[in-house]
Structure 1
Amino acid sequence: MSSGPGYLKSIELLRGGISDPSQYPFQLPAVRSLERLILHPKVTYIVGENGTGKSTLMEAIAVAWGFNPEGGTINFNFSTAESHSELHRHLRLARGIHKARDGFFFRAESYYNVASEIDRMDNDKDNRYGPPIISSYGGKSLHEQSHGESFFAAFQHRFGGRGLYILDEPEAALSPLRQLSMLSRIHELVQKHSQFIIATHSPILMAYPDSIIYELSQDGMRKVELEQTSHFTLMKQFVNHKKAMLEELFAE
């Protein structure tokens, strides 16, 4: 495995304290099959179909590390809805010898809440939060940008390097061209001693060469190459056999 900062080396599920493994979130394939997950020191991907528990697992890793369940930096402590699971209480994180100086938990579904919190803190009349936080995101309110622009503003401006970045479906509002730009940005940050854990459906984002891909299914979790993922094979099949696939989809 290639050398890298390896701020987070592995994740272990502590099953001894789980009272009922058949209840949420422990019945999810991502959790049910989890024993000890070895992370790549640079980029680790968690992929799979909807409902396998990717977001639940990503949230638990982030919360166990110290991030806000709804996203943001370690310093964000707002709460819009207490909806996160108890999974983080049952995880043991093996930290590396190097300490991350930066970090961010990005989750597409609650990024609006992060943007609102930044505006709230910057509009505080008592100036309790110091210089404008939005300056670290490009200087323009994230609510005044399109979803794609505001997503990429965080990736481009807020992520500074020497950090652990946990990203849950960062491609949600990004065009294919922006996804390629995101892949380039990941490489820039890896060169600045950063580590990524990414849950994604995008074969483009999965293409970073120095990485590990874990694919989830109802049968559990397995390590795969990009070309073995269901996302890649389905997209390739559609591009190469579009007419036949459409005819099958629309057949009465």
Structure 2
Amino acid sequence: MFLKRITFLREDVQDYHEYPFSIPSISNLHHLDIDNKVTFFVGENGSGKSTLLEAIADKCEFNTAGGSRNNSYDVHAAGSALGDYIRLSWMPKITNGFFLRAESFYHFVSHIDEVDLTGFRDYGGRSLHEQSHGESFLSLFLNRFKGSAIYLLDEPEAALSPQRQLSFLRIIHDLTESGDCQFIIATHSPILLGYPGATILSFDDGRIAEVNYEETDHYRITKYFLQHREKFLKDILEE
């Protein structure tokens, strides 16, 4: 465990009507304790989970378009509006890690193509552009992710099939058990959320609160759909 607490510097905010302070889960935040090697952020679109994850990446000095401290490139609208308003508490402080931002991953891959001089050693031995979207994500996880680091992942399931999401769960397990790694993951995937023993923090209902797996909409809606598919589709398509 490395990152222990996230504190919102409320006294520095001038106007809570402005984004991102207008997001209820952010405006109601005081501090957030992290006490698990694997923590999930869940919530509806716009609930603030990616905004907070991006701010953490900014305070870690990772590239907020995706990457680590060593990846310098620019992507439009990839900055963090919240980064200057949080404080991170560490034990111990680390600088190794990576921020995966699924929506700008293409730009990260192009950056690596331009600067890599090692024959893509950290990415499976060939350009990530020469691999499928899902293959490139797994190559990153398998080859780039190593011990004593914090990994901040925003919707890593975006490129992964259900089978490869299960493979990713094994990667998380191996890294946290033997590699001394910490993960904070914003996700909509009921498969990833099923990782045993993880902490799940919901950003819904205007606050950030820990919930059980079975309490998440991701689990409940998916379960109901699979058990009552015909009725579910009839209800939403014929109303």
Shorter-chain TM-score bucket reads over 0.9
Could you tell me whether the CA contact under 8 Å between 1:52 and 1:217 is conserved in 2? yes
Which residues of 2 match residues 220-239 of structure 1 at below 5 A? 220-239=207-226
Cross-structure match for 1:168:
154
- Mapped to 1, the partners of 2:95 and 2:89 lie a distance apart of 17
- Mapped to 2, the partners of 1:66 and 1:101 lie a distance apart of 8
Cα shift at 1:100? 3.5
> What are the superposed Cα offsets for residues 189-210 of structure 1, whole Å, 9 maximum, x if unpaired?
0011100000000011111222
Q: Which of 67, 70, 86 is residue 75 of structure 1 equivalent to?
A: 70
Q: Structure 1: which 4+ aligned runs deviate by more than 4 Å?
A: none
Cα shift at 1:132? 1.8
Q: Which of 69, 83, 87 is residue 88 of structure 1 equivalent to?
A: 83
Could you tell me whether the CA contact under 8 Å between 1:136 and 1:158 is conserved in 2? yes
1:115 and 2:102 equivalent?
A: no
Shift of the 133–108 alpha-carbon distance from structure 1 to 2, 3 Å rule, reads farther
1:14 and 2:9 equivalent?
A: yes
Cross-structure match for 2:20:
25
Could you tell me whether the CA contact under 8 Å between 2:147 and 2:181 is conserved in 1? yes
Cα shift at 1:82? 4.6
1:183 and 2:169 equivalent?
A: yes
> What are the superposed Cα offsets for residues 157-195 of structure 1, whole Å, 9 maximum, x if unpaired?
100121100000000010000000001100000011100
Cα shift at 1:86? 2.5
Shift of the 65–101 alpha-carbon distance from structure 1 to 2, 3 Å rule, reads closer
Alpha-carbon RMSD across the aligned residues, in angstroms, is: 1.4
Could you tell me whether the CA contact under 8 Å between 1:105 and 1:167 is conserved in 2? yes
Q: Which amino acid aligns with 1:100?
A: I
The 3-state SS of whatever aligns with 1:80 is coil
1:203 and 2:190 equivalent?
A: yes
Cα shift at 1:146? 1.0
- Mapped to 2, the partners of 1:95 and 1:30 lie a distance apart of 23
The 3-state SS of whatever aligns with 2:238 is coil
TM-score of the pair, normalised by structure 1: 0.90
Which residues of 2 match residues 115-154 of structure 1 at below 5 A? 115-122=109-116, 131-132=117-118, 134-154=120-140
- Mapped to 2, the partners of 1:133 and 1:228 lie a distance apart of 45
> 5+ unaligned residues in a row in structure 2: which ranges?
none
Q: Which amino acid aligns with 2:227?
A: N
Cross-structure match for 2:46:
51
Cross-structure match for 1:37:
32
The 3-state SS of whatever aligns with 1:210 is coil
Q: Which amino acid aligns with 1:46?
A: F
Could you tell me whether the CA contact under 8 Å between 1:30 and 1:57 is conserved in 2? no
- Mapped to 2, the partners of 1:244 and 1:169 lie a distance apart of 29
Cα shift at 1:40? 2.7
> What are the superposed Cα offsets for residues 193-247 of structure 1, whole Å, 9 maximum, x if unpaired?
1000000000111112222111111432221010100110000000111111011
Could you tell me whether the CA contact under 8 Å between 2:64 and 2:80 is conserved in 1? no
Q: Which amino acid aligns with 2:154?
A: D
- Mapped to 2, the partners of 1:57 and 1:239 lie a distance apart of 32
The 3-state SS of whatever aligns with 2:39 is strand
Cα shift at 1:30? 3.2
> 5+ unaligned residues in a row in structure 1: which ranges?
1-5, 123-130
TM-score of the pair, normalised by structure 2: 0.95
Could you tell me whether the CA contact under 8 Å between 1:13 and 1:34 is conserved in 2? yes
